């Protein structure tokens, strides 16, 4: 199986409360926050690796995983770590975040898919900076591919996948035939979430994503990382989503500590009047 | 003038409350820039009856596409129908439930239209429809405009009160099934496993009781009596869902459900940024946590530093005593 994984680097989501809105509101300043791989994309990469191996013998790669990002030169750090973790090749499309919106990312990815012809495009359900949750769906429609968003489990079948999706109220199971687009949700990195046809269903992965061993980090420097320009992939496409201004959210102040359950009930009834 | 098309959401053949939030948003767009709104109902044969549930909300028209091939929702089959009904509408709107999030970007791509996701408000700036969106786990709002003439929008349910009926009776009209693309041939609905519950839906409840990792296997044993005594929906942190103490769709947060009830109780939840993003618009927040330094206390109106395994049963007893 050949898989294209789309990866985006984002400002450290665990410190998202440290971002500042530049005076006048024209920009969000992520200041000195570290850049991290979007967590959902880390999960998508892990899912891609699981789908291209026998879980018991992960060293032997059974397919090809191509990691792609649209971003500045610095994003190559994230691609290198994807290569160290097990991706075979990487492609960076030179772009500054301000030059991109979901539509443009999807257009560029479409072109890459047409060039690379993967069986599957794996991506995160949402980039946790913009929180838009759109690129996978747009890409699937542009390609006229079937899709499964919010994937919690993926099982490889002959010529396709069986995917369970986390939806409101429960779990929806769909079958897809290749080529297809899948966007992953949090639970995709649980121990029994992803099975290639080679992996025994009794096999359990470690919870979470794998880490690159040191020698792999060295070897990753030798793996192929191509750089393309946005113009190679999409011509003359202006942004469709334009942010005119930004504003901070209303702040919420800490209230009071209560000393007992009795005091809590009293406050809820007589002060807040919610019970 | 903005002609708006609301894409309704059905569940088991009846209209979900998410739809009423979209109707509220559509009315707001009409108030801002004039025009009318219509509602499109898609589904299996039962969609015809469902459409009747929506004729009293002031829509110019209620459009229905009822077809056996639409009984089980698949974006690959729904998007072509929505796109085919779109001519004449400036804005296509749905609520950002898992349905709206899945469907609307696909509709936008099909229409070659721009999309704004999970919007918390709409306004008119210099004559242009401007969408307010929470970003960075709710730590910034972005105000964006879309450049295409047709625009696709999803709105955050917790920010738009469900619309009330407005009287009158909308005309109902059938719309034809549109031929799906090749994608529909390569996707098959297998099953939808939904847990039926007597409780209110998480996103609609007046009271939400959420539990975290601390509850362990006793998640439901501890929280159900409390939820029962408050008529509450039950939610959970990611950690509780990941560990399997609660189902995945109970998750409240940046990447789960966003809720804004009158009362939110966070039980054994530390208050990570991602969790707070999903509940900080609640009117009253109560936190019960044994760690006095837990970040959840920074946004709680009432904090109780206690062992939840003692405090929650005590709270249930106190609430029952009040009712009696
Ligand atoms: C990409 C991504 C997306 C995420 N999205 C979400 C999301 O949407 N929603 C979400 O919730 N999280 C999300 N998270 C996870 C988030 O970062 C936290 O890890 C998670 O919210 C922690 O859950 P918790 O508070 O239950 O667990 P913990 O942080 O482990 O907290 C448990 C709390 O219980 C308290 N406690 C323990 N025992 C007792 C007791 N006996 N009595 C009282 N208190 C007790 C402890 O003091 C502690 O504060 C996301 C993370 C990532 C990376
Ligand atoms: N700049 C980018 N480069 C590569 N992939 C991206 C980029 N932006 C978004 N994606 C992919 O699209 C997914 C959904 O992002 P979004 O629709 O922006 O929330 C992400 O999880 C990534 O897999």
Q: Give chain A's end-to-end CA distance (angstroms, integer).
A: 56
Are the C-beta atoms of B282 and B261 separated by less than 8 Å? yes
Say what the pLDDT of residue B312 is.
98
| Residues A64, A116: Cα–Cα separation, whole Å | 11
Provide the pLDDT for residue B159: 97
- Which structure tokens are listed for B30? 């009409």
| Residue A55 CB neighbour total at 10 angstroms | 19
The arithmetic mean of pLDDT across residues A34-40, rounded, is 97
State what percent of residues in chain B have pLDDT above 70: 100
Quick check: CB of A180 below 6 Å from ligand 2? no
CA A164 to chain CA centroid, Å, is 17
User: Would you say residue A222 has pLDDT above 90?
Assistant: yes
- pLDDT mean over B40-52: 97
Q: Alpha helix locations (H) across chain B?
A: 18-33, 47-52, 75-85, 98-111, 219-230, 238-242, 273-276, 308-323
Q: Is the pTM of this model over 0.90?
A: yes
Is residue B138 within 8 Å of residue B101, measured between CB atoms?
Answer: no
Q: Which chain B residue shows the shortest CA-CA distance from A134?
A: B105
What integer pLDDT is reported at residue B196 of this predicted model? 84
- A165: closest chain B residue by CA: B192
Q: Which residue has the tokens 């992996």?
A: A199
Judged against a pLDDT cut of 90, whether residue B1 lies above it is answered with no
Does the distance separating the beta carbons of A144 and B117 come in below 8 Å?
no
Chain A closest-CA separation from residue B128 CA (Å): 11
Are the beta carbons of A147 and A136 closer than 8 angstroms? yes
- Strand partners for A162: A155, A175
Q: Which residue has the tokens 């009846």?
A: B14
- pLDDT reading at B309 higher than 90: yes
In the predicted model, is pLDDT for residue B323 greater than 90?
A: no
Distances (CA, A) of B116 to A246, B84, B106, B185: 15, 20, 12, 28
**Does position B324 have pLDDT exceeding 90, yes or no?**
no
Pairing of strands A120-124, A180-184: parallel
Q: Report how far residue A13's alpha carbon sits from residue A39's, in angstroms, rounded to the nearest whole number.
A: 9
- Interface touch B136/A16, C-beta < 8 Å: yes
Nearest ligand to the CA atom of B271: 1
Q: How far is the C-alpha of A161 from the C-alpha of A173, rounded, in Å?
A: 10
Span B156-165, average pLDDT = 98
Least confident of A29-38, A172-181, A182-191, B63-72: A29-38
CB atoms within 10 A of CB A71: 21
Q: Which of A15, A17, A254 is nearest to B299 (CA)?
A: A254
Q: What is the ipTM of this complex?
A: 0.97
Residues A184 and A190: their CA atoms lie apart, in Å, by 12
Q: Looking at residue B195, what is its pLDDT?
A: 83
Q: Are B196 and B79 in contact (CB under 8 A)?
A: no
Average pLDDT over chain A reads: 96
- A165-199 pLDDT, tens per residue? 999 999 999 999 999 999 999 999 999 999 999 99
Mutation for testing the B interface, residue in A126, A134, A173 having most B CBs under 10 Å: A134
pLDDT higher than 90, residue A149? yes
Nearest to B238 by CA among A111, A37, A189: A189
Question: Does the pLDDT of residue B59 top 90, yes or no?
Answer: yes
pLDDT at A31 over 90: no
pLDDT of A236 > 90? The answer is no
Residue A238 has pLDDT above 90, yes or no: yes
Closest C-alpha among A251, A269, A256, A261 to residue B301: A256
């Amino acid at each position: 199986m050949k898989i294209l994984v789309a990866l985006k680097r984002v400002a450290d989501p665990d410190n998202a409360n440290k971002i500042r809105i530049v005076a006048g509101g024209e920009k969000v300043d992520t200041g000195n926050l570290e850049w991290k791989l979007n967590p959902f994309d880390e999960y998508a990469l892990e899912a891609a690796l699981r789908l291209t191996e026998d879980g018991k013998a992960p060293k032997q790669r059974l397919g090809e995983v191509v990691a792609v990002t649209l971003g500045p030169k610095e994003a190559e750090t994230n691609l290198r770590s994807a290569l160290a973790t097990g991706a075979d090749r990487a492609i960076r499309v030179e772009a500054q975040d301000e030059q991109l919106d979901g539509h443009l990312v999807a257009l560029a990815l479409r072109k890459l898919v047409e060039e690379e012809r993967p069986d599957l495009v794996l991506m995160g359900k949402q980039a946790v900076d913009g929180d838009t949750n759109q690129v996978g769906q747009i890409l699937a429609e542009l390609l006229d591919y079937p899709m499964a968003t919010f994937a919690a489990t993926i099982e490889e079948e002959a010529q396709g996948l069986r995917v369970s999706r986390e939806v409101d109220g429960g779990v929806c199971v769909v079958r897809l035939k290749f080529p297809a687009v899948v966007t992953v949700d949090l639970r995709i990195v649980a121990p029994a979430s992803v099975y290639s046809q080679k992996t025994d269903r009794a096999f359990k992965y470690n919870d979470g994503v794998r880490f690159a061993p040191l020698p792999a980090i060295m070897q990753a420097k030798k793996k192929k990382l191509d750089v393309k320009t946005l113009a190679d992939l999409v011509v003359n496409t202006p942004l469709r989503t334009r942010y005119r201004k930004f504003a901070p959210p209303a702040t919420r102040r800490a209230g009071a500590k209560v000393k007992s359950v009795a005091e809590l009930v009293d406050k809820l009834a007589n002060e807040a009047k919610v019970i | 003038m903005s002609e708006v098309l609301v894409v309704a959401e059905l569940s088991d053949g009846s209209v979900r409350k998410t739809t009423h939030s979209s109707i509220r948003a559509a009315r707001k767009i009409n108030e801002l820039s004039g025009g009318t709104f219509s509602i499109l109902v898609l589904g299996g044969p039962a969609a015809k009856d469902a459409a009747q549930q929506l004729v009293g909300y002031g829509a110019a028209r209620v459009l229905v596409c009822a077809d056996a091939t639409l009984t089980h929702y698949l974006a690959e089959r729904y998007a072509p129908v929505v796109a085919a009904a779109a001519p004449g509408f400036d804005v296509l709107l749905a609520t950002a439930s898992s349905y709206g999030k899945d469907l609307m970007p696909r509709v936008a791509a099909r229409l070659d239209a721009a999309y704004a996701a999970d919007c918390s408000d709409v306004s008119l700036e210099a004559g242009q429809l401007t969408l307010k969106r929470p970003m960075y786990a709710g730590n910034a709002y972005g105000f964006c405009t879309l450049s295409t003439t047709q625009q696709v929008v999803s709105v955050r349910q917790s920010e738009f009160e469900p619309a009330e009926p407005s009287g009158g009776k909308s005309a109902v009209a059938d719309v034809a099934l549109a031929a799906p693309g090749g994608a529909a041939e390569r996707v098959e609905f297998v099953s939808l496993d939904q847990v039926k519950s007597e409780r209110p839906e998480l996103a609609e409840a007046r009271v939400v009781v959420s539990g975290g990792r601390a509850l362990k296997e006793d998640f439901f044993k501890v929280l159900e009596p409390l939820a029962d005594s408050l008529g509450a929906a039950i939610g959970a942190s990611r950690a509780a869902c990941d560990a399997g103490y609660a189902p995945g769709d109970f998750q409240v947060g940046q990447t789960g459900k966003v809720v804004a009830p009158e009362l939110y109780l966070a039980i054994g939840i530390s208050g990570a940024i991602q969790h707070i993003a999903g509940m900080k618009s609640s009117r009253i927040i109560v936190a019960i946590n044994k760690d006095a330094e837990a970040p959840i206390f920074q946004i709680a109106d009432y904090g109780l530093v206690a062992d939840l395994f003692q405090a929650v049963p005590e709270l249930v007893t106190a609430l029952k005593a009040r009712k009696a």
